[in-house]
Structure 1
Amino acid sequence: MSWLALLLLGVGVADLLAAARPGLRWVPGLLGAALSVTAGLLAGFVGPDLAALAVIAATVVAWDAVAGTAESTPVRARRTLAVLALPAVALVALSGFASPVAGALGAWLTWMQVPAISGRGAGGILMIAALAVANTATGNRLVRLVLVSIHAQPPRLDGREGVAPASERLRGGRLLGPMERLLILGFGAAGYVEAAAVVVAAKGLLRFPELQAAARSEPRAVDEVTEYFLVGTFTSLLVALGSVVLLA
């Protein structure tokens, strides 16, 4: 899974840079791709790994190029999801050809001796780092793209005057989402996946007053807000639980 880890690392870094500095065109993708390729070379990748690194770099750049405008229409959102999903599936399907993480990067990852992850080996540590990065800004972007693709969140548009989009009526998602995903990832890495239920319950309790307020102020809009909350929450949880599966 070292190829997938490098893809997630590059995409995650690119999305973090794009979120921090929205005006940087192409730069986040190029930096994310450069980081993935550099990490792969430092890991001692050779042969088929070099072809995989080329695919990873191209995917990171392409993702960054299209993701910025992907939320404008449902069709663009679906295409953008495919830009990331198809190469990721291909890298997993061919992961048997991947070399183990070694070289200078592998030596450094095992040398760090972080107690919680020291027993996982260099490849496992790289995957944990990549998943932690990808579950922040990239996780948020994936959730928004899924919402837009199924019309649960009309992208930057809600034609009804005086009615704010669901994303504005349920605030804090861009912060709560990464927090819940990182908590679930941490629980999974520690072997306590069942603790994820606590995270889900806490989020439900936090959002319940806002859902009630939406129902009182705009009865016809409550279905939209509820759909936004449920689809967004379950998509976020699937991203986090999928990350835990990759750590198993």
Structure 2
Amino acid sequence: MGSFYTIKIKNESFLNQNFVIFQQPAVYVGGWQVYVNAVFDGSLRPFYSDGGLLIFQCLQHCYAGAQVAVPSLQPGQSTGYMTAGQAIDVTPQSGVSNNSTNLNLSINPLGLDSPTHAEGVREGAYRIVTPSFDPISSPINVGLAIKHPASDSYILSSFIQAQPLSNIDCQPIAKFYITTGNDYQAGQLINPESLEKLLESAAICDATQGSDTFDVTYNPDGSWTVLYDRSVPSGGGGL
């Protein structure tokens, strides 16, 4: 596998389309309410008119993320301010890894410390440890971040609203979904009530089986065609 996940989108319909990408929500241990952000958006004219493609890339490494949250989460709105990210390892099947990071509130606006090893984190997950803080006056979102290589910036792909003095274990899932519409821009909250329906109708790029490059075509009839690594065909949609 390479250093990036790469999704190339082609619009074979006869109209201009806006495409939105989001990642399958990570698994958060502890019964938290999980939220999902769009991680990419872009408009694309029909392929026959100019031959254009949309290309999304993010680094494959796992990143813990945190951001100062807005006072009230609203679908279609930004969930917070600049996202801090920290490269982190997940717990392996055997051996040890640097699978835990502390939320650091002494950094303005906030940050995540260099990861260390922690016992008791489930296989495939990492941990974010939160300090004492007031979640009412100073709400904080923490969870899984992606890193855009071009801008060197982070976006929370899924997150929970942190509580003080907590161990938040997060298990990433490397599946990306593409849908059409103008409801969301990168960094904006996807409506939790419509998320399941979006998952069912979206194209799916499943990187859990080793693929890292996906060619996605939006067809004239509104269906999707997804080619994994340019060689393995797959249909779209669903968990």
Query: For this structure pair, what is the TM-score category when the shorter chain's length is used for normalisation?
Result: under 0.3
Q: Greater relative contact order: 1 or 2 (C-alpha under 8 angstroms, separation 6 or more)?
A: 2
Please identify which structure carries the higher helix content. Answer: 1
* Higher strand proportion (structure 1 or 2): 2
Bigger radius of gyration among the two: 1
